Structure 1
Amino acid sequence: MSNPFSRIVEPLDPSQPAKRFFNLNHLGDPRYERLPFSIRVLLEAAVRNCDEFLVKKVDVENILSWKTMQHKAIEVPFKPARVILQDFTGVPAVVDFAAMRDAVKVLGGDPEKINPICPADLVIDHSIQVDFNRGPDSLQKNQDLEFERNKERFEFLKWGSQAFQNMRIIPPGSGIVHQVNLEYLARVVFDQNEYYYPDSVVGTDSHTTMINGLGVLGWGVGGIEAEAVMLGQPISMVLPEVIGYKLTGSPQPLVTSTDIVLTVTKHLRQVGVVGKFVEFFGPGVTHLSIADRATIANMCPEYGATAAFFPVDKVSIQYLVQTGRDEEKIKYIRKYLQTAGMFRDFSNSSQDPDFTQVVELNLQSVVPCCSGPKRPQDKVEVSEMKKDFETCLGAKQGFKGFQVAPEHHNDQVKFIYNEKEYELAHGSVVIAAITSCTNTSNPSVMLGAGLLAKKAVEAGLTVKPYIKTSLSPGSGVVTYYLQESGVMPYLAQLGFDIVGYGCMTCIGNSGPLPESVVEAITQGDLVAVGVLSGNRNFEGRVHPNTRANYLASPPLVIAYAIAGTIRIDFEKEPLGVNAEGKKVFLKDIWPLREEIHAVERQYVIPGMFKEVYQKIETVNKSWNDLDVPSDTLYAWNPKSTYIKSPPFFENLTLELQPPTSIVDAYVLLNLGDSVTTDHISPAGNIARNSPAARYLTSRGLTPREFNSYGSRRGNDAVMARGTFANIRLLNKFLSKQAPQTVHFPSEETLDVFDASERYRQASHPLIVLAGKEYGSGSSRDWAAKGPFLLGIKAVLAESYERIHRSNLVGMGVIPLQYLPGQDAESLGLTGRERYTVIIPEELVPRMNVEIKLDTGKTFQAVMRFDTDVELTYFRNGGILNYMIRKMAS
């Protein structure tokens, strides 16, 4: 079909008539200039891709009518310009692609049809761990160990980069996916197939949202959904409400961008923005650099929005110049956005569009803060940290409580480290990590940390040697400017040597703590602390032995490392005492905002970006030396414990089977609120007493070779056994935190996987009961694939995190939701009942279904298939089955 909007196509530059664009101003519709800028991107994609099949004229009309349609749960299609993957989520995506090729061949189709149609970039950044720290050779040692552990995965990914068209892979040692995206991969405006159009992206990491800071609309989706986009399918989404977030004023001199983002995170959690877009506007935006904006956009999953958008303005264009982008490209980017009505002047209020709701923050009101001890949204002002932690110590077990008896609050445990005696207490810092995409992309906080380190060393301060300190920059550019500005030696002197380029401590790749430290923590049952510049601090994520974890700016990470404890009031107590006996306070060494910006202007220059990124795809010799086959179909190695052909497509036929009811299901787990994807599918270390460990041992591996769950996402046997294997899982069937449950036919307490196996052998279907925000946190497709493999047919929850609900749908697991005002408690559910879910033949989106219990009780729940497309996926047994049938036929 020809595009019904071809009449509004015109050249951007009359001297280049072949280079065209869809000029939305020529729709002649006054509604366009009142649309939020983020919605304009959705509109342009719908207009350009309108074929009256996947995208229809009515979809364009619905987006144009956003002001009235936003409240009506209207479904619209969106075709992003590209997909971005990281290796933890990218490996299973490539595994699925390889398995889909096999399945299409079995069904008589052409396996080479399984190929990314939409451009895809994969950055290998999640495999490296902090095995070595505090030494100039830490980086090389960690990278060597990363290659040793992950050679099989890397060989598989390199095969994928050659076997699949339209897929580029950035080798390990290059940086964090979101920072590489910001500094290098982002196009801002595409110039492809003779058309200009806005860059937009979906990624298999929830922090894909970081790119919105540069004016590129993007968000995280499940790996399953990303694969469908790669295969040319649009995302089906509910037209979102858009919260206008007005920024006024300018930040105080002592405030960092981390303080701003933690304040915004808490504020927007209170406003309630789950499933909505947030769009920033107002004169305060002009005081934020692109790195500051990216920091705020990065934390979007922590306040629950789908995207947190900063439209492109002159600061965005300056950033493209600063990061060494091509001059000709920058010219057409600016011209296209200005001509198409997508270029923003934040000082001009006449450009302010309509919003669903407007909330406001005066940047002047932001004060230094951290977040913790267990959730990113639990902001604590730095001046209150000591008091807050001491309150948490005695408070009831929960997000803000550890339930330590009052008589034990001041317990201390002596231990020996490197032949010297030290003491640990509740609140002692044992991990201090400058890590993760949130802050390492931001020169202001990284240079701030460097300047603070310089002043601390000059004042005679040190960090205790047993504290695990580390610095993992988001790209080689960071190392470049830290060295050029002269602060790197001071960081190293305090123990913050560069340990790797990747997402390390923030995802649990923190490596081991010294044995004597672990023994002391265990002996005293201490609430030890991790302080990190990351974006996630959920229980059990950072390290099994740090029960409290606080998110903080890079300078504060160093400050708490020097103090050695979280129980310090920086305003009244010194950071330390130097060799001359002088007390040194934090205010004595804290760099001012203008001081930092002066160094940034001098040392963060375009030449650095050009030099680093010109050689990014060839700089890793170990990667270059990998020799892999060039076959169309992957030759699965049955001995591999990393890469395994998944069982998802076994017995798949071209014919559809009608959906059937779930009859007499047992409850595998009874869970509470805010169960994260970390609880469901942990990415960190594999406990030695776990089902996954038993499996790997049976394959001849030693504990040293286990690696992490994240690194083994290409092996379904490990990942099924790792489902609900988080040591901090709180299951209401048990009286303690443990990755276990009760197998009701025998009344035995078993590991979750072992219980599911017992049920499977007896052909019993399973469901999970849960509270609010089920599946919050990282966008992990294994948090849906794992439950599917355990035999879980449905989840019944009070509410879902957006990406996780989508992933459950993608695997054919039914997301059921209690009716408003109802929950397990109000319905008197214990989880010991057996559940029958009546699935009718005629299905419509968001329909109510009947649930019958073996006790005789009956109630209704909403079946959360939100769109007709999601129902199509369900009827096919999942999105990948749908794609295979489509390609095979």
Structure 2
Amino acid sequence: MVNYKSSKASNPYNKLLKTLNVNGKEYQYYDIPALGEKYGRLPYSIRVLLESALRNCDNFSIKEQDVQNIYNWETNQAVEGGIEVPFKPARVILQDLTGVPAVVDIAAMRGAVKELGGDPDKINPICPTDLVIDHSVQVDFVRSSDALQKNQDLEFERNKERFMFLKWGATAFDNMLIVPPGSGIVHQVNLEYLARVVFTGKDKPILYPDTVVGTDSHTTMINGLGVVGWGVGGIEAEAVMLGQSISMLLPQVVGYRLYGTLGQYVTSTDLVLTITKHLRQLGVVGKFVEFYGPGVDALSIADRATISNMCPEYGATVAFFPVDENSLSYLKQTNRPQEQVDVIEAYLKATKQLRSFNAEENESMFSQTVSLDLSTVVSSVSGPKRPNDRVSVSEMKTDFLNCLTNKVGFKGFGLSEDKLATKAKFMFNGKQYTIGHGAVIIAAITSCTNTSNPSVMLGAGMLAKNAVAAGLTVEPYIKTSLSPGSGVVTYYLKSSGVIPALEKLGFDVVGYGCMTCIGNSGGLDENIVNAIESNDLVCCGVLSGNRNFEGRIHPNTRANYLASPLLVIAYAIAGRVDIDFEKEPLGKKSDGTLVFLRDIWPTRAEIQEVEKQFVIPAMFKEVYAKIESGSQQWQSLNAPAGKLYPWSSESTYIKKPPFFDGMSRELPPARNIKGARVLLNLGDSVTTDHISPAGSIGRTSPAARYLASKGLTPREFNSYGSRRGNDAIMARGTFANIRLVNKFMSKPGPKTIYFPTNEEMDIFDAAQRYIADNTPLIILAGKDYGSGSSRDWAAKGPMLLGIRAVIAESFERIHRSNLVGMGLVPLQFLPGQNPESLGLSGKEHFDIDLPDNLRPGQKIKVTTDSGKSFDVILRFDTEVDLLFYKHGGILNYMVRKMLS
């Protein structure tokens, strides 16, 4: 008999249920302060984790001991090695690149349930799920009134098939909202519209905190509104969508005290770049950061959201601002109903989760504390290759010139002295221009971070207005763009009268989505590219985004700087980054008067006055009233009808995955691994970037050959990211990284040996040969296997290659969980052992004995045909892991659970 026990089991903490009356309506909630006096000493973010564990406790997936482990955070957070605890978020948020495979899997689950005689209509996300289509639009057209429409037209042309599939999902699934393209970036839509802050239960009026995980690392932006949330990989997101909890280590919490006041010419961007550098130097990877102190009171929610958005750049899991009066005011400003705001306030007060203004938090509640005097923050940028390399604007010229000659690295390009004066001439629109090192080629006010913040967006508009009045211009060859985070931004920019000035400087609205910051910056003029490449110039991109890693923004901008929207415009006007704004003018007025940046820069007080006047609830009401209907293009998309998706065998974007092929209602038989071959023999620190398909599709790769067989030309290959809904492409791209080091091979690359014939071939081709031979496959690896970002295809891909187990010295925590979720067996060498110490060449046949009575963490035996035998640790760490594995993975488990 299969145990399908779930959260429907009786909760031992139901005795803590109380009733709350708000405006004559009664709600229930769990009185978590009643657990005891330790509750009042917990950081606010830990109180949220505690409430989730307590409310969802079923003594199976979440046990009473888990609740106690979180409640005793003061002592448990310091335990060496950490204590693992479950977390069940209230909702999931997806963007389209990472969301498509999740929707594909759930659509396939429906088909599997129907084939097995069940009701496919029952397959829906159990946890509320929102998907925002925002990662497909590119900056192909700029500096024209029709740039927005042209870019959106091209977006639909490139992504029509994916969009049709998602539009089908919007009507086919319950409990899932899909926000059409052209609406804004996922993080800002989440902040302005989707976030609940406090949930009212679906089945009964029970109140609980809004929490979220998302398939984008910058999901953390919502922490600025007092919602605990962070980014996860696709498999974790799918698990939560299907009602499962995810596992995490009980985090340490760094208290970050803010005090003082920001200067009149300082922006929230300057503040976040300062904090990013500070926390990266401190070291907060895997920790929570919680902000407190009098300085927090003065920060708007948009300011806080900017800080929280950059959380992945300083490495923390969350950057949390507890809900306070500013949070409640923001909810009203963004047109949340007063009734909802009243419920939020009453519930958070009742459970001691509402932070008071002027509160002096007890610093002993944190693992450690640091502080920042806001008055010390100065105008800043970050770069040229990392978001945590902050540079004050006053030192920018010197810093950039030093970077040119520094040895190649994060702060160096390794140019020789004789190359510093190199200049290049080129023709653009019939006129000749000259550029050198430091020339600005791309200047983008992007949607990633700063367009969540009216203060810097309006500030940029006001600066543009002053610049135009002073006769300043931006050279036409500089690719300028404005991609707002939501339609609200355009609304208040128009209402305040700054749009004409922005357009005059070339900053026309070009799209609503994640554009330049993720490399969707589009092409540059061929003459400019030739000038840069033939003269080996270090040219620059300046953007108001959150990431500037090498090669990310554009191949021809070797240096990229994160900056406030105001500074994006300033550097665009200057045309170069090697400028000292204090000493060097931006230009001259018609009467010959020099114009310096300080002459056109608006003060913080001036910006706040305009913001107060023009950012009003009516805007949010009007914009979000029609967000689900989408543009005319979206409305005219002829998506399939019905609850089951009509898969097309001809599609190269959307394909029915094989995860449920041959599945039965009964559990599969025990799966001992006999005569396995090693597909790859890997070393330490193999990351998910090495495993999971990413980037462009190499023209000689197995994926390219597959697409060519479908009649596509290299120009039509697109990227692995755009084809994440097609397992045939993704399986062929698994382990396709050109830097993968396989010990079987003499040089890095996606090759291995097919041992029956000793042929060298592509990894995918070798795997297919083994599959045809009915030979199971394993991987040998060193320490920290699967480190880096959590990626679903880093587990799905190996499963499709026929890999049954991974034997490693150690695993990255989330990737281990993902392997289990796809039915693979993670096995760990005993301490001090590895393939070399055991004398394994990797050419042996391996037998892995998996007894019927598997237990978490037990030792099992591995033997080889060479006579070697050794024990390994079975890294099924929980009973839930075992349950998923017995079913062949979490997706198969959920299908059988629905059938039962």
TM-score higher than 0.5: yes
Give the letter aligned to residue 355 of structure 2: R
Which of the numbers 620, 626, 645 marks the counterpart of 1:615? Answer: 626
Deviations 1:472-513 (A, max 9, x none): 101010001111111111111111110111111112211212
Alpha carbons of 1:101 and 1:859: their partners in 2 closer, same or farther (altered >3 Å)?
same
- The answer to whether the Cα contact below 8 Å between 2:270 and 2:377 also exists between their aligned partners in 1 is yes
2:271 aligned partner = 260
Counterpart of 2:140 in structure 1 is: 131
Q: Are 1:62 and 2:75 counterparts?
A: no
CA distance in 1, matches of 2:273, 2:831: 30
Question: What is the SS of the residue equivalent to 1:236?
Answer: strand
* Aligned residue in 1 for 2:283: 272
The Cα offsets for residues 154-212 of structure 1, whole Å up to 9 and x where unpaired, read as: 21112112221111111111111111111011111112221122111111211111111
Q: Which moved more, 1:707-716 or 1:227-236?
A: 707-716
1:290 equivalent in structure 2: 301
What residue is the counterpart of 1:300 in the other structure?
311
Residue 51 (structure 1) aligned with residue 89 (structure 2): no
Q: Which has the larger radius of gyration?
A: 2
Using the alignment, how far apart are the partners of 1:552 and 1:98 within structure 2? 42
Kept after mapping to 1: 8 A contact 2:668/2:888: no
- Out of 41, 47, 63, the residue aligned to residue 48 of structure 2 is 41
Following superposition, the deviation at residue 239 of structure 1 comes to 2.1
**Secondary structure of the corresponding residue to residue 565 of structure 1:** coil
Deviation, structure 1 residue 722? 4.5
Identity of aligned residues (%): 62
- How far is the alpha carbon of 1:710 from its aligned partner? 2.8
In 2, Cα distance between the equivalents of 1:216 and 1:71? 25
TM-superposition CA deviations, 1:15-73 (whole Å, max 9, x none):
7464222222334x111111111111122222222333333332222222121222343
Give 1:707 deviation, angstroms.
4.1
Aligned residue among 646, 653, 662 for 1:642: 653
Of 563, 585, 592, which residue of structure 2 is paired with 1:552? 563
Decide whether the 8 Å contact of 2:85 with 2:250 is kept in 1.
yes
Map 1:653-692 onto structure 2 (within 5 A): 654-655=667-668, 657-658=670-671, 660=673, 665=678, 667=680, 677=689, 680-682=692-694, 686=697, 691-692=702-703
Moved more, 388-397 or 841-850: 841-850
Deviation at 1:686, TM superposition (A): 5.0
From 11, 17, 20, the equivalent of 1:12 is 20
State whether residues 163 and 632 of structure 1, in contact with CA within 8 Å, keep that contact through their aligned partners in structure 2: yes
Give the match's secondary structure for 1:19. Answer: strand
Give the match for residue 514 of structure 2.
503
Other-structure match for 2:107: 98
Q: What code does the residue aligned with 1:46 have?
A: A
**Match for residue 201 of structure 1?**
212
CA distance in 2, matches of 1:459, 1:865: 67
Residue 537 of structure 1 corresponds to: 548
1:382 is displaced (CA, Å) by 2.7
Cα 1:750–1:261, aligned 2, differ >3 Å: closer, same or farther?
farther
Distance 1:865 1:412, change over 3 A: farther
Deviation sequence 1:577-606 (CA, Å, 0-9, x none): 566555433333222222221211111111
Matched, 1:569 2:594: no
**Residues 554-582 of structure 1, C-alpha deviation per residue, up to 9 Å, x if partnerless?**
11222222222233333333334566555
Look up the match of 2:33: 25
CA distance in 1, matches of 2:387, 2:786: 16
695-704 or 216-225, which deviates more: 695-704
Provide Cα deviations, 1:758-782, integer angstroms capped at 9, x if missing partner: 88789694758688896545x5433
Query: How far apart are 1:533 and its partner, in Å?
Result: 1.4
> How big is the shift at 1:743?
4.3
- Call closer, same or farther: CA 1:835–1:320 in 2, change over 3 Å: farther
Matched-pair contact (CA < 8 Å) for 2:267–2:456: yes
In structure 2, do the counterparts of structure 1 residues 594 and 694 end up closer, same or farther at CA, with 3 Å as the change threshold?
farther
Larger mean Cα displacement after TM superposition, 761-770 or 521-530: 761-770
1:197 is paired with a residue whose SS is strand
Amino acid of the structure 2 residue aligned with 1:187: R
CA distance change for structure 1 residues 159 and 619 in 2, over 3 Å: closer, same or farther? closer
**Residues 482-881 of structure 1 correspond to what in structure 2 (within 5 A)?**
482-576=493-587, 582-652=593-663, 654-655=667-668, 657-658=670-671, 660=673, 665=678, 667=680, 677=689, 680-682=692-694, 686=697, 691-723=702-734, 730=739, 740-741=749-750, 743=752, 765=777, 767=779, 776=788, 780-789=791-800, 806-812=817-823, 841=850, 867-870=878-881, 872-874=883-885, 876-881=887-892
Q: Which runs of 5+ in 1 are unaligned?
A: none
> What letter is aligned with 1:276?
K
Cα 1:526–1:647 change in 2 (3 A) is farther
Aligned equivalents of 2:269, 2:831: Cα separation in 1: 36
Picking from 431, 438, 459, the partner of 2:470 is: 459
Q: TM-score, normalised by structure 2?
A: 0.88
Aligned to 2:230, what secondary structure does the other structure show?
Answer: strand
Q: How many residues align?
A: 878
Instruction: Please report how far the alpha carbon of residue 813 of structure 1 lies from its aligned counterpart in structure 2 after TM superposition.
Output: 5.8
Q: Within 5 Å, which residues of 2 pair with 1:212-223?
A: 212-223=223-234
Confirm whether residue 88 of structure 1 aligns to residue 97 of structure 2: yes
Change (3 A) 1:423 1:199: same
Correspondence for 2:4: none
Give the deviation of 1:116 after TM superposition: 1.1
Note if 1:343 corresponds to 2:343: no
- 644-653 or 248-257, which deviates more: 644-653
C-alpha distance in 1 between matches for 2:712 and 2:243: 40
For structure 2, the residue ranges without an aligned partner over 5 or more in a row are 1-8
Secondary structure of the 2:467 match is helix
Deviation larger for 95-104 or 832-841: 832-841
| Residue 55 to residue 669, structure 1, CA distance change in 2 (3 Å) | closer
Q: Trace 1:182-201 onto structure 2 (pairs within 5 A).
A: 182-192=191-201, 193-201=204-212
Which of 153, 157, 160 is equivalent to 1:148?
A: 157
Q: Which amino acid in 2 is paired with 1:83?
A: V
CA contact (8 A) 1:120 1:168 kept: yes
TM normalised by structure 1 equals: 0.89
* TM-superposition CA deviations, 1:589-636 (whole Å, max 9, x none): 222222221211111111111111112112422222233333232110
Specify the SS of the correspondent of 1:13.
Answer: strand
Does residue 412 of the first structure (1) align with residue 423 of the second (2)?
yes
1:395-474 pair list within 5 angstroms: 395-474=406-485
Q: Is the 8 A contact 2:684 2:784 kept in 1?
A: no
Is 2:685–2:787's contact at 8 Å kept on the other side of the alignment? no
Aligned to 2:78: 71
Question: How far 1:755 moved relative to its partner?
Answer: 7.7
How far is 1:81 from its partner? Answer: 1.5
Q: Equivalents in 1 of 2:229, 2:384: separation in Å?
A: 29
**Equivalents in 1 of 2:475, 2:726: separation in Å?**
40
Separation in 2, partners of 1:567, 1:670: 43
Deviation at 1:446, TM superposition (A): 1.1
Task: Give yes or no for contact 2:363–2:369 (8 Å, CA) kept in 1.
Answer: no
